[in-house]
Amino acid sequence: MSKKILITGGAGFIAHHVIDKILSKTEWEIVTLDRLDFSGNLNRLNEVVSSYDDKVRKRVKVVYHDLKAELNPEICASIGKIDLIAHLAAGSHVDRSIKFPIEFVKDNVLGTAHILDFARKCDGLERFAYFSTDEIFGPAPPGINYKENDRYNSTNPYSATKAAGEELVVAYENTYGLPSFITHTMNVFGERQNPEKYIPMVIKKVRDNELVTVHANSAKTQAGSRHYIHAEDVANALLFLFNYDFSLLKADETGAKCQKFNIVGKDEIDNLELAKFIASCQNKDLNYEMVDFHSQRPGHDLRYALDGAKMKDMGWTPDSAYDKLKSTIDWTLKNDRWLKI
């Protein structure tokens, strides 16, 4: 069945993978709303869309708009009638949020309010998806994996603004009956990622025989760890949720109407192990230094971890990160222009 989906931030890293998945697996029309800033790169979207034939390419429409402003009648007319919304547009670089916290409040809180207000006025909207982050829960002690409705413990402006966005989504469902759900994604990697992110940064530094900095505990004996997940798995999870019958789920134990879902990578990998794997894929030894993550990067945490049992019980599981890491490394080295952008 054909639908029409609005994706905010379509030129961003995760969103362009979502668009690719929708084009390959559905007949849906796509409208992407983007302002093309630090996080958005239209070359990503063009590279993906241009790989399809003319008929498929015509299913994608780009509308330029900065969500710090309300969607005016002209923008709304350009978008047209919508069945689904996936709100991925966000400032997502933790270091930038520490340097420019007010900009992140405008982008991630005010921007979310504006798209929510557009959504509540859409006749027949089936679902609104809000992409959040594991970072809203803060650092996870060893052995602790946070569930969907555990308490917030933001440690930087980025995670605080994403938590605020979640509360707005919940409020719009409770107040206006907006059919919504929230996802918490963990550290996502894949093709065409911003080169300042850890995996492409390590790929480049290993290739160029440079020192790799690995963030660790204060004693510099234990590297930080994440449940890494490929962007294609995240895109698959989103399609799974858009097509899932939520009436099959148990009522939320907190009484909230808005369902939340953790999209968790299969493998927890510490960053030193990851860097060594990237080096081995290039047939090189790793030149690295362990550094105290707190003094080097305030607002960053040693370990993030989510409990993925809910999605697993629903029938969704991701692929192993290691399988897709190898293909991502190979692709990135062959398309190294993405290490320069």
Strands (E), 210-298: 212-216, 225-230, 259-263, 267-270, 288-292
Catalytic residue of the set 34, 107, 146, 158 = 158
Walk along the chain (341 residues) in steps of 10 and give the mean pLDDT of each run.
93 96 98 78 91 96 96 97 97 90 97 98 97 96 94 95 98 96 96 94 98 92 94 98 93 80 95 97 97 72 93 96 95 95 67
Tell me what pLDDT residue 40 has: 59
What is the C-alpha separation between 181 and 128, in angstroms, rounded? Answer: 6
Q: Which amino acid is at 96?
A: R
Q: Angle 221-133-277 (CA atoms, 0-180°, nearest 5)?
A: 40
The verdict on whether 134 is a catalytic residue reads yes
pTM of the model: 0.95
User: Of 189, 327, 232, 323, whose CA–CA distance to 19 is shortest?
Assistant: 232
- From 3.60.15.10, 3.40.50.720, 3.90.1150.10, 3.40.720.10, which CATH number describes the 4-189+227-263 domain? 3.40.50.720
In the chain, where do the E strands start and end? 4-8, 29-34, 60-64, 84-87, 127-133, 180-185, 188-189, 212-216, 225-230, 259-263, 267-270, 288-292
Query: Is residue 135 annotated as part of the catalytic site, yes or no?
Result: yes
Active site residue 152: no
| Domain boundaries for CATH 3.90.25.10 within the chain | 198-226+268-303+321-339
> Where exactly does CATH 3.40.50.720 map onto the chain?
4-189+227-263
Q: What is the pLDDT of residue 295?
A: 67
Could you tell me which CATH class the domain 198-226+268-303+321-339 is placed in? Answer: alpha beta
Which pLDDT score is estimated for 294? 67
User: By CB neighbour count within 10 A (0-12 exposed, 13-18 middle, 19+ buried), where does 314 fall?
Assistant: middle
**Residue 317 has which token pair?**
């599981």
The catalytically annotated residue of 107, 134, 148, 301 is 134
| Number of helices and strands in the chain (H, E) | 14, 12
**pLDDT digits 0-9 by tens, 12-21:** 999 999 999 9
DSSP for 282-313 reads TT----EEEEEHHHHSTT--SB--B--HHHHH
Distance CA 287, CA 205 (A): 9
Q: Which of 34, 83, 107, 135 is catalytic?
A: 135
pLDDT for position 297: 65
